[in-house]
């Protein structure tokens, strides 16, 4: 996979290439990564990459000529790449979009700055427009790194160990179960007994249960969008019955139960 970021701040990418899984993926030739300075393709003594907007208004707009020259140079370096403009107006990035992008041979990521890019580059030179979420950044560089990061870890062999992108939260549509490591008691808080039991079947059951409950509590939207299996539905139903039991046991003891509350069992 080939990533080329087009930016007026290529230095922002240096520490990103040099750490962790991205660094290892580059060393293992799983990915090729570069940041090209758009300014290198700008004309004139001052090599301006931005200019005032036609029609007036505050802020600057990225000039089309340096951008198209940089895109052409990148496309020559990495043919059959997909050219993506990072922009607040793009479709929202998520794991599904990451998977989709991971299937392309290369990505040319155009990082906007200022108030945006001249509209005329979109028609011919941009294949896709992506935003990473509904908040305002100062430019597309961090968005490009987010995309490179998420796409790289989907490439087989980049995660190392027994880790797999398939096992992730979101890939499966539920959040990950709680995790613990040593010490067994931390500030008075103990590790759940079942995890120390060595009973792998029980551990798997506990993990699935806590995954589902946690997803229900923190991200109902994920559960609604997901098809649940029979055993999964059973786990949530049992949890529901456990809560109902707890509540009815409580109201049995409580003296301030509302009139009409059932007081049986």
Q: Which residues are catalytic?
A: 88, 115, 153, 168
Shortest distance (Å) from residue 73 CB to ligand 9D3: 21
Pick between residue 136 and residue 258 the one whose CB is nearest to ligand 9D3: 136
Smallest separation (angstroms) from ligand 9D3 to the CB of 88: 4
Nearest to 47 by CA among 26, 79, 69: 69
From 13-21, 81-89, 194-202, 205-213, give the range in contact with ligand 9D3 by CB under 6 A. 81-89
- In the complex with ligand 9D3, which residue's Cβ is closer, 33 or 110? 110
Q: Which is nearer to ligand 9D3, 16 or 206 (CB)?
A: 16
> Which of the ranges 128-136, 197-205, 228-236, 249-257 carries the binding residues for ligand 9D3, by CB under 6 A?
128-136
Residue 137 near ligand 9D3 by CB under 6 A: yes
Give the Cα separation of 67 and 237 in Å (integer). Answer: 56
Q: Which of 140, 152, 158, 206 contacts ligand 9D3 by CB under 6 A?
A: 140
Q: Does 6 bind ligand 9D3 (CB under 6 A)?
A: no
Residue 131 interacting with ligand 9D3 (CB under 6 A): yes
Q: Contact 69/190 with Cβ under 8 angstroms?
A: no
Q: Is 58 in the site for ligand 9D3 (CB under 6 A)?
A: no
Task: Report in angstroms how near the CB of residue 107 gets to ligand 9D3 at its nearest.
Answer: 14
Contact 47, 151 (CB under 8 A): no
Residues 35 and 13: beta-carbon distance below 8 Å:
yes
| Burial degree of 44 (CB within 10 A; 0-12, 13-18, 19+) | exposed
CA gyration radius for the chain? 26
Q: Which stretch binds ligand 9D3 (CB under 6 A): 28-36, 41-49, 82-90, 257-265?
A: 82-90
**Cα end-to-end distance, the chain, whole Å:** 63
Assess 133 for contact with ligand 9D3 (CB under 6 A): yes
Biggest CA pair distance of the chain: 87
How many residues bind ligand 9D3, per CB under 6 A? 16
Residues paired with residue 190 on neighbouring β-strands, in sequence order: 185
Write out the binding residues for ligand 9D3, residues 103-122 only, by CB under 6 A.
Answer: 112, 115-116
Instruction: Fill in the DSSP letter of residue 91.
Output: E
CB-side neighbour CA atoms (13 Å) of 138: 3
Closest Cα partner for 121 from 185, 68, 83?
Answer: 68
Map residue 60 onto helix, strand or coil: coil
Residues that bind ligand 9D3 (CB under 6 A): 86-88, 112, 115-116, 131-133, 135-140, 143
């Amino acid at each position: 996979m080939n990533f080329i970021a087009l930016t007026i701040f290529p230095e922002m990418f240096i520490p990103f290439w040099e750490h962790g899984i991205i660094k290892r993926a580059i060393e293992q030739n799983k990915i090729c990564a570069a940041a090209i300075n758009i300014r290198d393709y700008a004309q004139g003594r001052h090599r301006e990459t931005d200019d005032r907007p036609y029609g007036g208004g505050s802020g600057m707009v990225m000039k089309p000529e340096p951008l198209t020259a940089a895109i052409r140079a990148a496309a020559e370096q990495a043919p059959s790449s997909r050219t993506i403009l990072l922009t607040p107006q793009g479709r929202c990035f998520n794991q599904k979009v990451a998977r989709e992008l991971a299937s392309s041979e290369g990505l040319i990521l155009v990082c906007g700055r200022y108030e945006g890019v001249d509209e005329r580059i979109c028609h011919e030179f941009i294949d896709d427009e992506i935003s990473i979420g509904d908040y305002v950044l100062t430019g597309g560089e961090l968005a490009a790194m987010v995309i490179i990061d998420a796409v790289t870890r989907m490439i087989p062999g980049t995660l190392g160990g027994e880790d797999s992108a398939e096992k992730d939260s979101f890939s499966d549509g539920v959040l990950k179960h709680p995790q613990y490591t040593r010490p067994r008691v931390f500030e008075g808080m103990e590790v759940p007994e079942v995890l120390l039991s060595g009973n792998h079947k029980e551990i798997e059951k506990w993990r699935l249960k806590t995954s589902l409950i946690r997803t229900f509590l923190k991200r109902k939207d994920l559960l609604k969008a997901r098809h649940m299996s029979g055993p999964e539905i059973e786990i949530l139903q049992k949890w529901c019955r456990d809560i109902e039991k707890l509540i009815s046991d409580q109201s049995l003891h409580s003296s301030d139960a509302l009139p009409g509350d059932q007081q049986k069992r």
